[in-house]
Structure 1
Amino acid sequence: MSLTVTALVPAHNEEDGLGDTLESLLDQTEPFDEIIVVDDCSADRTGDVARSYGVTVTRPERNRGSKAKAQNFGLPLVRTDLVLPVDADTLLAPDYVERIKAPFADERVAIAAGCVQTRFDNTPTERGRSIEYLFGFHFQRPIQNATNSPVVCSGCCSAFRTEELRRFGGFPERTIVEDMDYTWSKQIEGRRAVYVGGAMAWAADPSDLRFLRVQVWRWMAGFFQNVRIHSAAMILRKPVLFLWILIACWDIVTAPLWYAMPFVLTLVLHESIGTTLIWWLGVETVLLWLPLLYAAHRRKLSYLRVLRNFPYVYLNKMVNIYYAWKALLVELIGVPLRLTPGLTTYVKGRA
């Protein structure tokens, strides 16, 4: 029997881009059984735009304050086997529903996620994010999936078993990143999370440094909130997932040393600049370019376009490192010691 599925779209002041998202939802080879837009007290025409597409629109009496809370407001209206939250700036490929439903033939699967790429690469931050996504979704995610331990099922386009999600209490509100929280929680319970590389989605990412900082701070704070909450249980019940978390933490801790190494070798150890740069760039090339070339080939992207975007990834990396360290100090050290309150306010990473 074919599973039924509802698209759940949380939207706050999204009149400009919501129409494109809804068109992609309505243009599926396997149609959604229902599309629900949660107009989270928008001050613009978000609700009118949604109604013009003939979808169900619901609006709370007051702004819910976060994506998870807006989704939970709409969850009681879902009457299908699966619910697929979609960000109001995200487009789904026409065969997305068809592909994302397939893993749920396995009763052990609680959540399935697709492959997210950038919609735009016009600004430096968007170009840097395009490289991050190419690397992450074509190298890291497939490896994690092969070990049955995806680190996160992206909240912009993952599918959930509706009743199981309801029994859990809905989308988690205890952390600032509900997608990672649920992904870890379900795997610790013994349920499966699955990455579906052929299910393509395109998200609008921060277009400038101001919004990139907001988004990365939320992501990094949420990551360490989940490390704080789940680590003990993960060690006992999902050690492979914990290994990926340890690797991520190791990358965060050692990243400043790696990027400072050329300066240390030349200024402190008096190695030649030429030798140092050849060695450092050689390692970077092996670690980054081989996966990127594979990703570009698989997605039929222009190699020149990837090459053009590549330098900008280092702008994003510097932002990532700063906020990862800030999150580590605040969420993993400051909060347990009651020195800091941690991040609780949800702010979108774009206008």
Structure 2
Amino acid sequence: MNITVLVPAHNEEHTIGETIESLLAQTRKADQIVIIANGCTDRTAVVARKYPVIVMELPRLKHRKSEAMNRGWNIYARHADLVVSMDADTVLAPNAIEDWEKESQKRLFGGSTSKFTIQQPGYWCRMQKSEYAYNIQQGLNHGWTNVLAGAGSAFSGFALREIADRDDREGPWSYESAVEDFELTYRLREAGYRTYVSRTVRAYTDGMKNMKSLWGQRMKWQAGTCQDLLRFGVNRLTIRDWGSQILNLIGPVIRMLWVTVITLALYLDTLTIVWWGLLVPFLFMAINLKTAVRIPFKDKWDIFMAVTIIPTEFLAWIRGGWIIASWGEVIRKKITHKDRDLWAAQYKAEGVESVRIRN
């Protein structure tokens, strides 16, 4: 098989070397590793050229990551049997490409995403690590995934060529979506291909280190997903996603009602604590603990944060905020017909224009 790796990068000089080294250390070497330096103002391309890889230097592209991927794919990966997509701050375990090559032999293989984890310390990174572990386990349990994350996934070259032949794009990746990974995965599933989480491939990636950057990232993910779902409509492929959106909206409402009831009871001096009322927090504690024990490279702090409830509950409130704000953004766009650059909003939240931009 011909296997080509595409790595889009914008101002990633501090991480691109480790990413490339993880690719060169694979038990099954890729036939081509293509670093797509998109409008870099730092030494990303200089660092990449120290390694035996292909470096594409491009100006700052209008459609950012999607356009960079399409340009790299059209020049270097159009005829590949297997295409691996990686972010420039991601490290793959050594068995990744070899295992993906084996998986690609399965019937109707469309793509396989890695099991992502974050190894950085700190509250926000630990919470994201827990989220990743939960979502990965859900994908493994279901036997399919609705997002082949571009940060570390492998795609059937044949399937990508079929998607690229559509009239609404220049390559496999769409310019209409702010969450191009979700859109591409939907198109693969729509065409009858299987997309799933690999049971053996692990990837290590960076997490958002504070609430502002996490909010910016999740606003882009959530608002972009909402916009795509409205475009796709309700069908057999999106019904579970719509159900998740409904539950995501109900969650914050229930929490706000709970706080209102407790506050009113305290004000009226009618609050009474009964033993069975403690079953709910203990249930949440058990669910959090079940997720925590599955976190790779967990430590005592991961377990502590799960069983004390408060840290995870705080994140749940924050999550409810960006979910409501995302739907508000979608409604605003429908009313005003004015688009907002969700990528730029994420960059601003991360403060990366002056440091580095995460693709």
Question: What is residue 316 of structure 1 aligned with on the other side?
Answer: 315
User: What residue number does 1:231 align with?
Assistant: 233
Give the conservation status (yes or no) of the 8 Å contact 2:118–2:204: yes
Contact 1:130 1:309 in 2 (8 A): no
Tell me how far apart the structure 2 counterparts of residues 314 and 153 of structure 1 sit (CA, whole Å): 28
Q: Quick check: 1:89 aligned with 2:85?
A: no
Residues 1:168 and 2:163 aligned together: yes
Partner in structure 1 of residue 196 of structure 2: 194
Deviations 1:222-254 (A, max 9, x none): 11012111124xx1xxx2x43321331122111
How big is the shift at 1:218?
A: 0.6
**Counterparts in 2 of 1:1-351, with a 5 A limit?**
3-76=1-74, 77-78=76-77, 79-120=79-120, 122-138=121-137, 140-145=138-143, 149-169=144-164, 170-232=172-234, 235=235, 239=236, 241-260=237-256, 262-268=258-264, 270-273=270-273, 275=275, 278-293=278-293, 295-296=294-295, 299=296, 301-302=298-299, 304-310=300-306, 312-331=311-330, 333-338=331-336, 340-346=338-344, 347-348=346-347, 350=350, 351=352
**How many Å separate the matches in 2 of 1:274 and 1:248?**
32
Q: When the two structures are superposed, what TM-score results if normalisation uses the length of structure 1?
A: 0.86
Whole-Å Cα distance in 1 between the matches of residues 283 and 43 of structure 2?
50
Instruction: State the Cα distance separating 1:117 from its structure 2 match.
Output: 0.8
- Mapped to 2, the partners of 1:274 and 1:126 lie a distance apart of 36
- Taking a change above 3 Å as real, the CA distance of residues 101 and 312 of structure 1, as seen in their structure-2 partners, is farther
Name the CA shift for 1:207/1:36 in 2 (closer, same or farther; >3 Å). Answer: same
State the Cα distance separating 1:217 from its structure 2 match.
0.8
Name the amino acid aligned to 2:326. A
Question: What is the TM-score normalised by the length of structure 2?
Answer: 0.85
Cα distance in 2 for residues equivalent to 1:200 and 1:317: 26
Q: After TM superposition, give the deviation of residue 315 of structure 1 in Å.
A: 4.1
For structure 1, the 5+ residue unaligned runs are: none
Amino acid across the alignment from 1:182: L
Deviation at 1:309, TM superposition (A): 4.5
Secondary structure of the corresponding residue to residue 178 of structure 2: coil
Distance 1:277 1:117 in 2: 35
- Amino acid of the residue matched to residue 6 of structure 2? L
* Structure 1: distance between partners of 2:303 and 2:329: 36
Does the CA contact (< 8 Å) of 1:111 and 1:158 recur in 2? yes
Shift of 1:151: 2.1
How many pairs align? Answer: 333
2:245 & 2:23 partners in 1: Cα distance? 36
Aligned counterparts of 1:184 and 1:37: Cα–Cα separation in 2: 26
CA RMSD of aligned residues (A): 2.3
Q: Which residue of 1 aligns with 2:355?
A: none
- SS, match of residue 105 in structure 1: coil
Contact 1:125/1:315 (CA < 8 Å) preserved in 2? no
User: Is residue 163–residue 187 contact of structure 2 (8 Å, CA) maintained in 1?
Assistant: no
Question: How far is the alpha carbon of 1:87 from its aligned partner?
Answer: 0.4
Cα distance in 2 for partners of 1:282, 1:265 equals 20
Q: Give 5+ residue unaligned stretches, structure 2.
A: 165-171, 353-359
Q: Please list the CA deviations of residues 43-79 of structure 1 after superposition, one character each: whole Å capped at 9, or x if unmatched.
A: 1100011000121000113444522121112112224
How many percent identity over aligned positions?
22
Deviation of residue 316 (structure 1)? 3.5
